[in-house]
Structures are given as structure tokens and as C-alpha cells.
Homo-oligomer: A and B are copies of this chain.
Amino acid sequence: MPEPTRRAPSGAAALRADKTVAIAEAVLDELAEQGYGRLSMEAVAKRAGVGKSALYRRWPSKQHMIIAVVSELSVERLEAPDTGSLRGDVLALLRSVADWLTHPRFSRIFPDLIAEAHRDPALAEALARSVGEPRRARAVVVLDRAVGRGELPPDTDRETALDLLAALVYWHVSVRGVRPDADYLERTTETVLCALGARPAA
């Protein structure tokens, strides 16, 4: 039985989780207020109540830090929905996209990162690898299950289908800035199902 008073292991592994959480919150606050270009390591450290060395012990650069925090928010807590029908899964995916894009801070952060990515190819690549691809990998599971149930044709174009599952909500909410009304997600689910040529399960 471990001794309750023993000391934490020393060295690289001994990063305090509470500090990591405080830093992540500070990164999101600074990103929402200042944007990627103006965010400084100093301001994040000050806001989190830690020294700058606490940041550099965790991540080698500002870009690594931001990508890690944004990826955690965007990907880590997600699972592919499995409601038993394509309609239910599409509705759940669209709701998760809408929740993500209307998250109080993230609604400002994501469009700013996209704008910055047009000026910074390394950031664009990191965003695609750490946010875009994991989210797409999750959604493709839904499409594959629907093909298995006979709700989608086996030759369904996965690329177009994955674009559909994010594009409409992004354009509506993040580009046009429209607050979705009560049945927006239901209507958009119907549009996506029509576009995919979905049919009821066999």
C-alpha cells in the first residue's frame, strides 16, 4: 500500500495537473481577447499565476502550447455518436459542431486561428493534424457504421460527406454570425441526409 505522505516523483514527469489546467484556461482567455498574433507567453504565465518556465517545461514554443490547448478543447473529450441511426448520429455530430463553434471563448478563437493559418503554413499544418484530422476520423466512424447498416451507399464519398458535416454549421454560425434557431439543427440534418442520398436502414 502506498504511503500517503510520500513525495511526488521528481524530474520531467512531475508536472502539476492543476497548473496545466490553469495554464490552459489562461491560453484560452488570452487567445479570445488578444488573438494568436498578439498572445505572449508572458501574459499567459501572469494570468495563470505561474512562471514562464512552467510553460516551457510543458511545450517548446507558443505554437506548440496553443495547438495542444486548442486540440484538447476540440478533440479530446469527443466520442463518435452511436445512436443506432444515421439521422441520430448526424444530428449529434451537428450539435457537437455547433456547441464547439459557439463555445463562449472558442467562437472567437477558431476564426482567428483560421485567419492566422493563411499567414503561417506551419500553423495551418499543425491545426489540420491536431484538430481537423482527429475530428474527421471520429466522424468517419459514423459514416462507416451507416454504410454497414445500409443507410448509405458503400461508395459514399467520405471527403464530401465529412465536409458537409461541418461546413453548413460553420458558414451559418461562424461566418454569417447567425444564432441558430430552435430547429436549425433538425433542418440541417435533413439537408445533410438528402445530400448524402441516405435511405432508411435495411
Spell out A's residues near B (CB within 8 Å).
35, 37, 107-108, 111-112, 114-115, 117-119, 124, 128, 132, 157, 160, 163-164, 166-168, 170-172, 174-177, 187-188, 191-192, 194-197
Complex CA gap A169/B71 in Å reads 24
Q: Is the CB of A164 within 8 A of B191?
A: yes
Complex CA gap A167/B166 in Å reads 9
Q: List 12 extra interface pairs beyond A167-B171, A168-B168, CB under 8 A.
A: A35-B37, A108-B118, A118-B177, A132-B176, A163-B168, A164-B168, A164-B191, A167-B167, A170-B171, A170-B175, A194-B197, A195-B195
Q: Is the CB of A187 within 8 A of B118?
A: no
Q: Is the CB of A176 within 8 A of B128?
A: yes
- Copies of this chain present: 2
Q: In the complex, which residues of chain B have a beta carbon less than 8 angstroms from the beta carbon of A107?
A: 118
Output the least CB separation between A157 and chain B (Å).
7
Complex CA gap A187/B107 in Å reads 30
Q: Is the CB of B117 within 8 A of A115?
A: no
Q: Is the CB of B157 within 8 A of A166?
A: no
Interface of A, helix, strand, loop or mixed by DSSP: helix
Complex CA gap A195/B198 in Å reads 11
Chain B residue with Cβ nearest A167 = B171
Q: Is the CB of A171 within 8 A of B166?
A: yes
Output the least CB separation between A125 and chain B (Å).
9
- Contacts A108-B119, A170-B167, A171-B166 given; indicate if A160 touches B114 (C-beta within 8 A): no
